[in-house]
Amino acid sequence: MLRRLSSLFVALESPTYRTLWFNIGLAGVGRWTLTMAIGWLMLLLTHSGFWTGAGMFAMQGPALIGAPLAGYIADISDRRIMLTVSQVITAIALLALAVIVGMQVVTPLSALALALLIGLAFSVQMTGWNALLPSLVRRDRIFNAVALQSTAQRGAEFIGPALGSLIMTFAGLPWVFAFCGAAYAVAAFQPLALPPSDPRPTRQRGAATSALAQERRWLGAENRATLFLLLLVVCLHCSITMAFMGVLPIFAQVALHGDSNTYGSLLSAIGLGSLAATLLGGGVRDARWQGALYGATTVLSGVTLAILGGTHAVAAAFGAALVVGASQALFMTLSLSFIQERVQDAARGRVSSVYTFISAGVMSVANWGYGALAAFFAPGLLLMAGGALFSALGAGLLGLAPELRALMRGDASNVIAPALVEVSPAAVLADDL
């Protein structure tokens, strides 16, 4: 029993990975507290679903620009410095937001401008975390490391809104933003404790045609179709189901007749479900079980969202939110792990940036769209329609694409061979010499 429990945390045996894990968790608490606060702030300022969706877009939309740039930078420079600079910028912007909200001079446009800056910095952080992670653990522990990364993020998704709701109730909204800024200020210098990272710099500075040829070689012809399909399903998932955050504050207010505490509690329930699923799922080592879970969560993440949309009682909504968080988080964890296992370190920054572009940028556009549609349709109806649509599309792709069917059977023929020792950036460079 103890041995099985220890397998859930095997990636944490790496001291450098532990440092990254704590950084992800601490920054995540600040981010998810901010997600709750910015949505509620925009709703208080405007009473508009369009502006609430705009606030969610500002938190993630800059990934459409920031992620591709961050991916290139991550493949030619020290990823630790990239993380630290982006987190310092986030802390300063959050403290500025706390000041203008406290002085009651905040406007929808000023809040949106600071949220855009924070969103741009966060797209850099997501890309940096995903690019750094596989170089800190053995390849045969990547899935566990990705699951624990997701556990840190989902734990923050549970803790952040819960703390934010308490701070908002007893101290006021300005102090919520101040708390977020403090969390980022503490997190900002943790990445500097990691080993320097400068993956294969000479290969990145060649001519465009040479770089393209190198990237094709690193990805491998047998991986490209699988990677494309994995990223396509993630794109559909993020734009159809995970975009419900743009309408969730209105759902809490209109369908559940609740207030900020109801909204914060829904977010916490989603985070708790996410935390439990990724923690338990991280102990699954067998590729066949991982594939089966991928297929199941592809369908369930839509079905459970449709169930949430159909609830009208607060207790039932909390229960539905738990399973929404569990299925969606496990699907995203499995998807990222499958992607990471099929990419070499030299191209990891750019591939990670595509994942960030989708999971933050594309989702932010859909969040805004959902918020705008809430002016014309009932929020519960939007959740039900989105959930049903994704389940149908996901099931269709799983049935039609042979690459995804092979993945669900546990076929790991195009997975990069696992290393027997922990890989460091320095070792990767040494292999080239």
Q: What is the mean pLDDT of the chain?
A: 81
Instruction: Give the Cβ contact number of residue 428 at 10 Å.
Output: 17
Asked whether the beta carbons of 261 and 170 are under 8 A apart, the reply is: no
Q: Which of 175, 158, 157 is nearest to 31 (CA)?
A: 157
| Angle between the N-to-C axes of helices 260-281 and 142-170, in degrees from 0 to 180, rounded to the nearest 10 | 160
The reported pLDDT for the residue numbered 414 is: 56
Q: Provide the percentage of residues in the chain whose pLDDT is more than 70.
A: 86
Q: Which of 365, 129, 153 is nearest to 279 (CA)?
A: 153
DSSP at 258:
-
Angstrom distance (rounded) from CA 69 to CA 17: 24
Contacts of 85 (CB under 8 A, 6+ apart): none
Tokens, residue 86: 């982006």
- Summarised one tens digit per residue, pLDDT across range 225-252 is 888 899 999 999 988 988 787 788 888 8
Which whole number is the average pLDDT over 106-125? 90
Q: Where are the alpha helices (DSSP H) in 310-401?
A: 314-340, 348-356, 363-373, 379-400
Angstrom distance (rounded) from CA 87 to CA 92: 9
Q: Which of 45-59, 163-177, 247-261 has the lowest mean pLDDT?
A: 45-59
Q: Which of 94, 388, 70, 79 is nearest to 244 (CA)?
A: 388
Residue with tokens 């149908």: 392
- Summarised one tens digit per residue, pLDDT across range 178-222 is 999 999 999 998 998 888 765 554 444 443 344 334 444 444 545
Which whole number is the average pLDDT over 343-366? 79
Which run of H or of E encompasses 193?
Answer: none
Q: Say yes or no to pLDDT of 431 above 60.
A: no
| Angle between the N-to-C axes of helices 15-46 and 173-187, in degrees from 0 to 180, rounded to the nearest 10 | 160
What pTM, to 2 d.p., does this model score? 0.71
The reported pLDDT for the residue numbered 164 is: 85
Asked whether the beta carbons of 176 and 33 are under 8 A apart, the reply is: yes
The reported pLDDT for the residue numbered 419 is: 38
Q: Which of 248, 176, 191 is nearest to 30 (CA)?
A: 176
Angstrom distance (rounded) from CA 142 to CA 148: 10
16: Cα within 13 Å, side-chain hemisphere:
18
The reported pLDDT for the residue numbered 165 is: 82
Asked whether the beta carbons of 140 and 416 are under 8 A apart, the reply is: no
Angstrom distance (rounded) from CA 36 to CA 417: 41
Q: Give the burial class of 222: count Cβ atoms within 10 A of its Cβ; 0-12 exposed, 13-18 middle, 19 or more buried.
A: exposed
- Summarised one tens digit per residue, pLDDT across range 183-192 is 999 999 899 8
Contacts of 260 (CB under 8 A, 6+ apart): 40, 165, 168
Contacts of 288 (CB under 8 A, 6+ apart): 409, 410
Instruction: Give the Cβ contact number of residue 360 at 10 Å.
Output: 23
Asked whether the beta carbons of 301 and 328 are under 8 A apart, the reply is: yes
Q: Say yes or no to pLDDT of 401 above 60.
A: yes
The reported pLDDT for the residue numbered 181 is: 93
What radius of gyration do the chain's Cα atoms show? 21
